[in-house]
Amino acid sequence: MRLRRAGGFAFLLGAVGIVAVAPAAAQSVNKRLIEQLNFQLLYVAIPLTLFVEVILIYAVVRFRNNDDPLPTAEDPPLEITWTIATAIILLFVGVAAYTVLASPYITPEQPSDSSQAPGNATASGSGPVTVRGLAYQWGWQFSYPGTNVTTQSELVVPANTDIYIEMTSADVIHSLFVPRLGVKQDVFPRRTTIIHTRVFEPGTYRGYCTEFCGSGHALMRTTVRVLPEDEYRRWLRDNAGATNGTASNEPAPNATAANAPS
């Protein structure tokens, strides 16, 4: 009776755990890929965890008063079985992880057509958008090739479009992390790293620096504003040559042309 109760409790706990972490709609391709991998692993890990816990509870209850325990008998078929089962599980985990890590959104490369920039993208919005980002102590600067628009601590991109952000640092190592978009990329001096994403939902998202970069690290935040395609094009036109607000042609503190992405 106790064993059945323990097994029932473990099953209920696992079911509640799966329901509690059920994924919400992902806001970007990156977030969707990461969540899919997490849940594939959870659906394997939770049953295995429950199986092991049920066996543990059974052993504790069944043999708790055994004053003359005997050594475990050898059972080669059982040992071969659990070795093969473990190999299959590890193979599944490896293949699932590799599929996500090999995605161009998680391990990005330069866009195949670098001429596709915000000012040059097709009228239909089908071409990718490239933004150049510069991290510095302690802020972010984003420029939009093909225009003279530069923003400070605000990244503006169109929704449902492939976005490439070419990042570099003016001083030390930084890291741009936008949790709700599943985006995280280290940013190095004298080197360009790429963020590749596609955001589904227009809205405002918060970004943070997650690499300790000095006394102002905690204040190094940015806003990611995702606009519908037509609003994004209008925003670019309206802010061309702007010298105030978040859109500016002024250089960021500590940022020099030599540090900008090439």
Task: Report the CATH number that the domain containing residue 230 is assigned in CATH.
Answer: 2.60.40.420
Considering the domain architecture, whether residues 94 and 182 belong to the same structural domain is answered as: no
Place of tokens 């089908």: 126
User: Does residue 12 lie within any of the structural domains?
Assistant: yes
Residues 88 and 174 in one domain: no
CB 127 within 8 A of CB 121: yes
One-letter identity of residue 28: S
State which residues form the domain around 30. 2-63+77-101
In a domain, 57, yes or no: yes
How large is the average pLDDT for residues 26-48? Answer: 90
For 56, 105, 160, 201, 242, the CA distances from 126, given in Å and listed in that order, are 56, 17, 9, 17, 27
Same domain, 42 and 163: no
CA–CA distance, 192 with 170 (Å, rounded to integer): 11
Residue 31 lies in a domain: yes
Q: 27 and 144 in one domain?
A: no
**pLDDT tens-digit readout, 216-244:** 999 999 999 999 999 999 999 888 765 43
Q: For residue 8, what pLDDT band results from cuts at 50, 70 and 90?
A: low
Q: Which percentage of the chain shows pLDDT scores above 70?
A: 76
Q: Are residues 242 and 136 in the same domain?
A: yes
Confidence of residue 60 (pLDDT cuts 50, 70, 90): confident
What's the total number of domains in the chain? 2
For residue 218, the SS3 value is helix
**In this structure, are 93 and 134 located in the same domain?**
no
Same domain, 140 and 229: yes
Asked whether residue 115 is assigned to any structural domain, the reply reads no
Angstrom CA distances, 83 to 78, 88, 89, 142, stand at 9, 9, 10, 52
Query: 202 and 91, same structural domain?
Result: no
Contacts of 191 (CB under 8 A, 6+ apart): 168
The verdict on 84 and 157 lying in the same domain is no
pLDDT band at 87 (very low <50, low <70, confident <90, very high): very high
In this structure, how many other beta carbons lie within 10 angstroms of the beta carbon of residue 178? 24
Same domain, 156 and 253: yes
247 and 139 belong to one structural domain:
yes
* Residues 6 or more apart whose Cβ sits within 8 Å of residue 218: none
Of 154, 170, 157, 151, the residue nearest 117 (C-alpha): 157
Is residue 121 assigned to a domain?
A: no
Average pLDDT, the chain: 81
Q: Which residues 6+ apart lie within 8 Å of 143 measured at CB?
A: 131, 132, 134, 149, 150, 151, 260
Share of the chain above pLDDT 90, in %: 52
Answer yes or no: is 81 within a domain: yes
Within a domain: residue 112?
no
Q: What is the dihedral of CA 15, 17, 20, 23, to 10 degrees?
A: -90
Supply the pTM of this predicted model. Answer: 0.73
Q: Is residue 203 part of a domain?
A: yes
120 SS3 class: coil
63 CB contacts (<8 Å, ≥6 apart)? 69
Distances (CA, A) of 108 to 115, 161, 163, 183, 194: 17, 15, 11, 11, 6
242 and 148 within one domain: yes
Q: Find the distance separating the first CA and the last CA of the chain, reported in whole Å.
A: 70
